[in-house]
Amino acid sequence: MEWVAVVVLLAVLEYLWFGVMVGNARERYSVPAPAITGNEMFERYFRVQQNTLELLPLFIPSIYIFARYISPFWAAGIGLVFILGRAVYAAGYIKDPKKRSMGFGLSALPVLVLLAGGLFGAVRAILIMADVPAS
């Protein structure tokens, strides 16, 4: 489970980095707080951070549940694909929002796999426990 914890913390650090990028973009493109619109380039950085934030509540519990019921090794590996996907997404979106598709797929698909696998594993564990005769 240690590798899973490392991967989750790396994902959180990546999100933190995206926040730093938003702060820098806010200055570079003269978008004073609390505004979140007004310059298209700033908005791209902001959307990368916000889109990542939208996925983290799905990613974090899913990776831990998948690790618990399926495999910590596979959970960590799939989690690394998520992190890579977010980086590809950020680079593509900032360059041209139309180029975000590959990064989106590389980050959304791992979340779906972790979510489905975690649900499958937890339900399987419940069913196995239901078959155990009471002592």
Verify cis geometry, omega within 30 degrees of 0, for the bond prior to 34. yes
CATH number at residue 80: 1.20.120.550
Cβ proximity of 55 and 115 under 8 Å: no
Residue 26 burial (CB count, 10 A): 18
- Is pLDDT of 134 > 60? no
- Split into its structural domains, the chain has a count of 1
Question: By percentage, how much of the chain surpasses pLDDT 70?
Answer: 97
Tell me the C-alpha to C-alpha distance, in Å, between residue 96 and each of 39, 58, 61.
14, 26, 31
Residue 118 in domain: yes
Summarize pLDDT for 104-132 with one digit per residue, the tens.
Answer: 999 999 999 999 999 999 999 999 988 76
CA distance 82 to 2: 17
Whether 132 is in a domain gets the answer no
pLDDT tens digits for range 53-72: 999 999 999 999 999 999 99
Q: Which residues lie closer than 8 Å to 9 by C-beta, 6 or more apart?
A: none
Tell me whether residue 47 is in a domain.
Answer: yes
Which domain range does residue 13 map to? 2-127
Evaluate whether residue 11 is within a structural domain: yes
Question: In this structure, is residue 133 part of a structural domain?
Answer: no
| pLDDT tens digit sequence for 90-104 | 999 999 999 999 999
Q: What is the pTM of this model?
A: 0.92
